[in-house]
A and B are shown apart, each in its own frame.
Chain A
C-alpha cells in the first residue's frame, strides 16, 4: 500500500506547529497503525531527520498511551485504540490526516504527544477508597452482588486514553470521570465516601478546564472500551444527590 500522510508537527508546547506531508510505500495491510508510523520513523532517522513523537507503549490496547486523531476521528476508523487499528482498514493511495488530541486541558507537548496529567489530578482529588495497607477484612466478608460487580467492572475498564475528551465538541471529561465515580460507587467498599468523591472529582474536572456534557454521546462512540454514557447519567444523579443532601438521610 502507498499512503499520503499529513502529520501535525510541533517542536514544543509554545511552538505554533504545522502539518507536514509524507508519502510512504510498502505498507502491508496486516500492519498496525503504529507499525506504519514506525516505518516512517525508521525512514526519517536514516535520513537524519527528527522522528515524529507519539505516545505508545503496550501496543495491545490496554495501557491507554496511544492517542491519535486519524482523519478527524479519535483512534481512527475502527473501534479500539490507535495501536489496535490495522492498515487493512485503509485504502491504497488514501490520504490520512494525523493530529494530536485537541482539548484545552490536554496541551500539546511535541508533535502528536499531549499532556494528560489533568486526568491524574482528577483522580488524586478523590478517585480512591481511603484504606491503608494492613488490617483489611477477609475478601469474602462483604458479599458483592454479581450484577453490581459486573457493572463496576464495566466502568473500571476505562484505560484513561482521553479519546472521550478528544471526540467531544466541548472537550468534556464526563465519561472518564463518570467511569471512575461509577466503578467505586457501585461497590460497598466505595460507598462510604461516595458523596464526597463525586463532588471533589467533578470540581477538579471543572478546574482543569474540561467542558460540560451536552448529550451528543461522541465519547461513547469512540471509547475503545465501549463504556456506556449511562454512567454519566448515574454520575449526574449522584452529584445532585450529594449536593442537595450532603449527608445521608
Chain B
C-alpha cells in the first residue's frame, strides 16, 4: 500500500500555518448538519468532542466507563510540557521539538512533532482559562518543574494529579456542550466494530454494557481516541479496562497499525510483589527531580538501606549519565535498572527493585517542602507497601506504562481509511520510539483542541452531510459479526476465566517482548501466542447471559483481541532489526550496552495491514526522511 503522510511543503516552522490555509472550511450554518462520533473521552477524545461541538457540529461520545471523567488520562501524575520559557532558561518551540525528536530516538515524523511543540504553548493558556488549578508561585505566576530528557524546566503541574485536573477541564467543556444539546454522551458503551462504507469510515457498532444490547451508530466521520494497548502485558500502570479492541477492530477493517513494538517501560513504579497482583502503580517521574536512584555496589548486599554507607552505594544514573543524571529519559533509566538487577544488585525480597532516595532532598529542603511537592505520591506509596518513604527510600522497578505505537495517521491525524481520525495514545504519531515524560498530556490536548478540529473540518467539507445510514448492509453485517463473536465466546463453556488467560499472555509478552528482546525469544513468542489463543477458544468460561450487565463477557472480548494483537506486536519487534528507544534488541547494542540504531536501513515507520484470518500481516513502510535534524548517537552523558 502506498502511504501518503500528506506533510505540507516548506520550512518546518511554516508547515502548520500553510496547512491551515490550504484546508477547507464549513459554513457555520452547515456545521450542525454534520455528525461526528468520538470514541473515548480522555484528554484527546474529550477535548476533540468539546471543540467540535463548540464549532457547531453534532457530536456523540462513547466511553466504557460510567462517566467521561473517568478515562485513564486521569491517572497521569507529573505534568504537561509547554515551551513557554517562563523560567528564562533557554526554552523555545525549537528546543521542545529537538528534545522530543531526540527523546524518540529519531523515529518520529518531524512535521508532526514541530506542530506539537507549537501548539503546546496554547494548551496552557486554554487550560488556565478553563479553571485548571495549576501550581502557582507566591507572585501568582505559574510554577514549573523538570522532567526527564530535558535540561529546561517546562513542565506545568497540579500537585501529583495533573492528568486529573486537565481531564476535568476537558470534561467541564464537554459538559457545557452536553447541556447545550450539542453532544450526546454515551457512557457504559463499548465500541465493538468500525463500519466502513465504500471505503470510508461511516459509523460504529457498540455494546450497551447495561442492557447488553448491540447498537448501530452512523456518522460523517469517526474519531478514535481510545488510548493505548499497554494492558496486553496484563500487569501495567494502565487501568484495568484499557484495551486494544477499538483500534484493533479498526485494523481488522483495514486501518494500518504502526510501530506496535514501541512500548514504553516506565522506570519508576512500585515493584511486583506477588502472583495475585492485578496492577502496577506508577510513582511519577517528577520524583526524580528530588529523588536519587541507587543500588548497593556489592551484589547480594541485603543490609537495610540506612546501614549501607555512601561509599558502598552506586548512584548509577548519576555515574553513567552525569549531565542528565537522575533525569535521564525513561527507556535509558529503565534499562539501567534492569542491568543493575541482572547483576544481582537489586533490592527488596524479589531482587527486582532499586532505591529512590529522598534523604538528601529532605535534608536540604525539609520534609514540609517535599510533602507539598509529592505528598499524595508518598501517601500512595505508604498505603500500598506499608512503608514510610519519608524515613526509608522507596523501592521502584520499571513497568509497562505507555505505548508509542498505534494506528497509522497522516499529518492531519487521519488513518488510511478516509473519515477515520485517530488521536492521542491511540495513534502512533509524535513520540517515535520513546516518549518523554509530560508529553502524553501535551499530545492528547494538542490533538484534541488544536489539530483535529481543523483537519476534521477539512474532511467534512468534502462529504455530503447525513449520507451515512444505519440501514446500510455494511452496518447489518458488522452488527451480526459482533453478535456472533460474543455468542461464540459464551458457547465455549470452558473452565477458566478470561483473566487467567490474560495473565498468561501478559507474562509471555513481558518475557519475550518486554524491556529487552531477541530474535530467538520473539520467534518463541510467535509460536506460543497462537497456542495460547487456541486454548482460550477451547477453555474460556464466560458465565451469564449476553443480556444485561456482564463484566466477564466484556473482559473476555477484550482478551480475545489481545491474543490476536500480541502476534502483530511481536511480528513488528522481530522485523525491526535494530535497537531504538524503547525497542531494545539485545543483538544490536554498543559496547557500553546502549541501543544501536540502524538509520541506513530502519529509518521508517512500520505500518501493518490486516491480510485476513490466519495470514501474516502485510508490512508497509513510511520512510521518515529526516530533513531538519540529523540523527546522531543519542547521548545523555
Q: Give me the interface of A with B, judged by CB distance under 8 Å.
A: 11-12, 28, 30-32, 34-35, 38-39, 41-42, 44-46, 48-51, 53-65, 78, 80, 84, 86, 88, 109-111, 113, 115-117, 119-120, 123-125, 127-133, 136-140, 142-146, 149-150, 152-153, 156-157, 159-160, 183-184, 187, 189-190
Contacts and interface: CB of A to CB of B under 8 A. Distances in A.
A131 B384 contact: no
A78 B384 CA distance: 12
B493 A48 contact: yes
Interface stretch (B30-38, B62-70, B106-114): B62-70
Contacts of A184: 131
B549 A53 contact: yes
Interface in B32-68: 47, 50-51, 54, 65-68
A58 B69 CA distance: 12
A113 B65 CA distance: 12
Contact of A128 (B137, B172, B279): B172
Nearest to A184: B131
Given A38-B278, A62-B75, A57 B541 contact: no
Contacts of A12: 548-549
B54 A109 contact: no
B499 interface: yes
Given A133-B453, A149-B133, A11 B86 contact: no
B386 interface: yes
A143 B139 contact: yes
Given A61-B380, A117-B187, A190-B131, A51 B543 contact: yes
Q: Number of contact residues on B: which range applies?
A: 35 or more
Interface stretch (B175-183, B251-259, B302-310, B616-624): B175-183
A231 to B, nearest CB: 14
A84 B383 contact: yes
B54 A133 contact: yes
A153 B164 CA distance: 11
A129 B172 contact: yes
Contact of B497 (A46, A54, A146): A46
Contacts of B541: 45-46, 48
B277 to A, nearest CB: 7
B141 to A, nearest CB: 5
Interface in B157-194: 158-159, 161, 164-165, 168, 171-173, 175-176, 178-179, 185, 187
B140 A143 contact: yes
B273 A30 contact: yes
17 contacts: A30-B273, A30-B386, A39-B276, A45-B542, A48-B543, A60-B282, A65-B70, A110-B549, A129-B172, A130-B176, A140-B141, A143-B136, A145-B136, A146-B137, A159-B164, A160-B69, A184-B131
A137 B348 CA distance: 50
Interface stretch (B122-130, B432-440, B459-467, B588-596): B122-130
B67 A125 contact: no
B552 interface: yes
A149 B453 CA distance: 31
Interface string B60-90: 0000011111101011000000001010000
A38 B175 contact: no
Contact of A117 (B67, B137, B281): B67
Contacts of A84: 380, 383-384
Contacts of B50: 133
Contacts of A183: 131, 133
Interface string B287-319: 000000000000000000000000000000000
A28 B51 CA distance: 47
Contacts of B172: 123, 127-129
Given A63-B65, A120-B67, A139-B84, A58 B75 contact: yes
Contacts of A110: 210, 548-549
Nearest to B168: A156
Interface string B377-415: 000100110100000000000000000000000000000
A186 B374 CA distance: 23
Nearest to A84: B383
